[in-house]
Amino acid sequence: MDRIGALYRVVLCSAFFTLAACASPTQPPTEPPGGSLTQSDAQGPAGIREATSGPSTTTGGRSLQDAQAGKLPVTPPGSPLKEVYFGYDRYDLDTEARATLKANADWLKANVSARVEVEGHCDERGTSEYNLALGAKRSQAVKDYLATLGVAATRLSTISYGEELPVCKEQTEDCWQKNRRARFVIVSGRPAS
Amino acid sequence: MAIAFPTRPFYSQVKIDIEGPVGRRSPIAVSLLKNLGPSDEKRRISESITDTLVYDLNLSGWFRVLDRTAYIENPQTSGITAGSFDFKDWSTIGAEGLVKGGFALQGDDLTVEMRLFDVFQAKQIVGKRYGGRGGDSRRIAHKFADEIIAQFTGTPGVFNTRIAYISLTSGFKEVFVSHLDGTGKQQLTNNRTINLRPSWSPDGRFILYTSYKEGLPALYLYDLANGRDTRLGSQRTSSMGGRWSPDGKHLVASFEENGNSDLYLLDRSGKTVRRLTADPGIDVSPTWAPDGNRIAFVSDRSGSPQIYAMDVATGKTQRLSYSGGYNTSPDWAPKGDKITYTGRVAGRFHIFAMNAQGGEAQQLTSSAGDNEDPSFAPDGRMIVFSSSRTGRYQLHIMRDTGENQQRLTASGGGDTNPSWSPRLE
């Protein structure tokens, strides 16, 4: 079974991996997972956020880390990168989502060192495996659109959390709509402003 | 382990009831076992065996076990062979079937003898003697329950099996395994991330599951013998879950590339043998036909998630589900004849079964709440699934016809993603 220490390493590891995967999707990383991990100096569950203090706190941390800290994965109101929302069982971007992504793209182009993980989420309806695949489609749709707006794809990694990390837990359409989302988490790099 | 007594003619009197009216359950009595060993009281063993047998028989859907308090005779003073007790004591209380037996515990060596009687015909149907350790009492009871089902239906029951599932008990989705009656519950993962969709290897020795414990969701193989856990495949792409082939030599799994999930055939070390799908839609949730030649899976290539079947060798693919706009999580029946899956009706999710060739589907659940992720028992006659009908998701069980729906778990956090093991020893 995993120890807490291992978990911290793993959480840091995931940042490297998603970035590595994003940078060269067709090539496996040259180093085994363990190699790059142990070089990181993990300090605790909040290690990532502390290390990249500015931007990470403004978008909020990774949704899974929020869950591990007993918090809802909420994007703070002041975040420079806003969430976008999807229709039920859909991964196309409507006008509102495109407008949000335009603003997000503008910020990303002004803050070129920021690397961002795009999380795809679903509402609780339906089965877990299909929703994992659906969340992947959503995060990719966002990444692709940001790329067409001029954000380098290498700065954007994706992860799907399927229906696993809802931000709202009631069984209402209002709540489900909040959960069908793509969230942005700044994983490294400081903003210019 | 078992010494078979000469098997008598079939339990024909009661067998007719299977074809009888829906919901007809044969009334059966399960007497406490007689202590045949040294004189010291070992009532606990007798109760453990009979309680397990009662649970199994009620769960089967074929029997209604009569309440022990109504029994007339004293199990410790009456005999356990035909002729050494009075069948009238049992016909009077309405029993059509009767289980009697005895046990002896010497040191840690347990011997149990159990007999099934047809009360109407006043004769023994089957008797078995089992040897084991003191801790084997439930296993022995499950074995005799399987034997009773075999006498009753021609095919043994599935009570020596376990369910792998995901439980939120700790606040995180972790992998658990448990017997049907909730005993032997074991937590396999404790990584405080997200673990999903466990499934059994055909030999019952490994659990394949999906976990976020190293970042992106990946496939892991858990060895039940030693707790060793191995990641299958690369960590650079996400996996949406996989399943074993019936011969245990291959896996089929869904991996994501650029947001799109496709199915891959893997060897059991996780190395890709061949890519099976390459369309721009979602391809996920594979399940193997028992002949190993075909898989069924979920694809949204038509615009909504539907069940498809593919010939693994040729790649020839056929859409199976046509009714409803959302059909997912298929499980192929062990006999190959049917596929069960989750479908959406009027905004709720229910369990369906259809012919493996596709076509008309039968809706098996209709309760309030959502019903998801069906998994066939190894004999194909029962299905375990998760349902929110009582509030939180819990595991439920039903006959493959949808009859006899019963709740298996009542966990505080909620239980989902059940997978029924093969028959275990």
Q: Is B307 on the interface with A (CB under 8 A)?
A: no
Q: Residues B172, B106: one domain? A: no
CATH number at residue B10: 3.40.50.10070
Residue B425, domain member (yes or no) = no
3-state secondary structure string across chain B: CEEECCCCCCCHHHHHHHHCCCCCCEEEEECCCEECCCCCCCHHHHHHHHHHHHHHHHHHCCEEECCHHHCCCCCCCCCCCCCCCCCHHHHCCCCCEEEEEEEEEECCEEEEEEEEEECCCCEEEEEEEEEEEHHHHHHHHHHHHHHHHHHHHCCCCCCCCEEEEEECCCCCEEEEEEECCCCCCEECCCCCCEEEEEEECCCCCEEEEEECCCCCCEEEEEECCCCCEEEECCCCCCEEEEEECCCCCEEEEEEEECCEEEEEEEECCCCEEEECCCCCCCEEEEEECCCCCEEEEEECCCCCCEEEEEECCCCCEEECCCCCCCEEEEEECCCCCEEEEEEEECCEEEEEEEECCCCCEEECCCCCCCEEEEEECCCCCEEEEEECCCCCCEEEEEECCCCCCEECCCCCCCEEEEEECCCCC
Kindly calculate the radius of gyration of chain B based on its CA atoms and give it in whole angstroms. Answer: 23
Q: Residues B307, B413: one domain? A: yes
* Nearest-CB residue to B285 (from A67, A130, A139): A130
Assigned token pair, B423: 């028959």
The pLDDT value given to residue B393: 96
Per-residue pLDDT of chain B (425 residues; tens, 9 = 90+): 333 333 333 343 333 333 334 567 899 999 999 998 875 667 788 999 999 999 999 999 899 999 999 999 998 889 999 999 999 999 999 999 999 999 999 888 999 999 999 999 999 999 999 999 988 999 999 999 999 999 999 999 999 999 999 999 999 999 999 999 988 999 999 999 999 999 999 999 999 999 999 999 999 999 999 999 999 987 789 999 999 999 999 999 999 999 999 999 999 899 999 999 999 999 999 999 999 999 999 999 999 999 999 999 999 999 999 999 999 999 999 999 999 999 999 999 999 999 999 988 999 999 889 999 999 999 999 999 999 999 999 999 999 999 999 999 999 889 999 999 999 97
**Residue A81 near residue A186, CB atoms below 8 Å:** yes
User: What CA–CA distances, in Å, run from A152 to A72, A111, A138, A182, B369?
Assistant: 30, 12, 18, 18, 44
**Residue B240 near residue A133, CB atoms below 8 Å:** yes
Q: Residues B384, B257: one domain? A: yes
* Nearest-CB residue to A13 (from B197, B214, B217): B214
Extents of the domains making up chain A:
48-188
**Residue A60 near residue A74, CB atoms below 8 Å:** yes
Nearest Cα neighbor of B356 from B377, B335, B371 is B335
Q: What is the pLDDT of residues A58-89, one digit of tens each?
A: 888 999 999 999 999 999 999 999 999 999 99
How far apart CA B251 and CA B261 sit, in angstroms, is: 16
Nearest Cα neighbor of B140 from B115, B114, B104 is B114
The pLDDT value given to residue A191: 54
The pLDDT value given to residue B23: 62
The pLDDT value given to residue A190: 59
CATH domain A48-188 topology: 60s Ribosomal Protein L30; Chain: A; (3.30.1330)
Say if the Cβ atoms of B240 and A21 lie within 8 Å.
Answer: no
Q: Is B213 on the interface with A (CB under 8 A)?
A: yes
Work out the burial of residue B190: count CB atoms within 10 Å of its CB; fewer than 13 is exposed, 13-18 middle, 19 or more buried: middle
Q: Is B234 on the interface with A (CB under 8 A)?
A: yes
Residue A50: pLDDT over 60: no
Nearest Cα neighbor of A178 from A170, A188, A168 is A168
How far apart CA B53 and CA B63 sit, in angstroms, is: 11
Amino acid at B97: G
Say if the Cβ atoms of A21 and B190 lie within 8 Å.
Answer: no
The pLDDT value given to residue B20: 36
- Report the first-to-last Cα separation within chain A, whole angstroms: 43
CB contacts of A17 in chain B (<8 Å) are 214-216, 235-236
The pLDDT value given to residue B10: 36
Say if the Cβ atoms of A21 and B257 lie within 8 Å.
Answer: no
Q: Residues B388, B369: one domain? A: yes
Which residues on adjacent β-strands are paired with residue B174?
Answer: B167
Closest chain B C-alpha to A95 CA, distance in angstroms: 21
Alpha carbon B118 to chain centroid, angstroms: 28
Say if the Cβ atoms of A137 and B260 lie within 8 Å.
Answer: yes
Q: Residues B230, B369: one domain? A: yes
Kindly calculate the radius of gyration of chain A based on its CA atoms and give it in whole angstroms. Answer: 16
Q: Is B236 on the interface with A (CB under 8 A)?
A: yes
CB atoms within 10 A of CB A58: 15
Q: Is B154 left (phi over 0), alpha (psi -120 to 50) or beta?
A: left
Q: Give the number of domains in chain B.
A: 2
- Rounded mean pLDDT, A105-114: 96
Percent of chain A with pLDDT over 90: 64
Q: Residues B100, B229: one domain? A: no
Q: Residues B73, B182: one domain? A: no
CB contacts of A140 in chain B (<8 Å) are 258-260
Residue position matching structure tokens 């799109």: B260
Q: Residues B168, B276: one domain? A: yes
Q: Is B391 on the interface with A (CB under 8 A)?
A: no
The predicted model scores a pTM of 0.86
Assigned token pair, B287: 């399940």
Residue A32: pLDDT over 90: no
H or E element: which one contains A161?
A: strand A156-162
Say if the Cβ atoms of A126 and B349 lie within 8 Å.
Answer: yes
Alpha carbon B75 to chain centroid, angstroms: 32
Residue position matching structure tokens 């490297």: A16
**Residue B253 near residue B218, CB atoms below 8 Å:** no
Nearest Cα neighbor of B407 from B163, B114, B148, B106 is B163
Domain boundaries, position B130: 2-153
Closest chain A C-alpha to B322 CA, distance in angstroms: 17
* Nearest-CB residue to A18 (from B216, B284, B373): B216
Tell how strand A156-162 and strand A115-121 pair up: parallel
Tell how strand B174-179 and strand B186-187 pair up: antiparallel
Q: Residues B135, B205: one domain? A: no
**Which of helix, strand or coil describes residue A116?**
strand
**Residue B214 near residue B191, CB atoms below 8 Å:** no
CATH number at residue B325: 2.120.10.30
Say if the Cβ atoms of A165 and B194 lie within 8 Å.
Answer: yes
CB contacts of B194 in chain A (<8 Å) are 64, 161, 164-165
How far apart CA A34 and CA A32 sit, in angstroms, is: 6
Q: Which of B153, B172, B199 is the last residue of a domain?
A: B153
Q: Is B16 on the interface with A (CB under 8 A)?
A: no
Task: Output the DSSP codes for A132-143.
Answer: HHHHHHHHHHHH
Minimal-distance CA residue of chain A relative to B391: A171
Nearest Cα neighbor of A2 from B231, B257, B157 is B231
CB contacts of B213 in chain A (<8 Å) are 2, 7, 10
Residue position matching structure tokens 């074995």: B143
Q: Which of B153, B181, B208 is the last residue of a domain?
A: B153
What's the mean pLDDT when you consider all of chain A?
Answer: 78
Residue B37, domain member (yes or no) = yes
Alpha carbons within 13 A on the beta-carbon side of B290: 15
Say if the Cβ atoms of B237 and A2 lie within 8 Å.
Answer: no
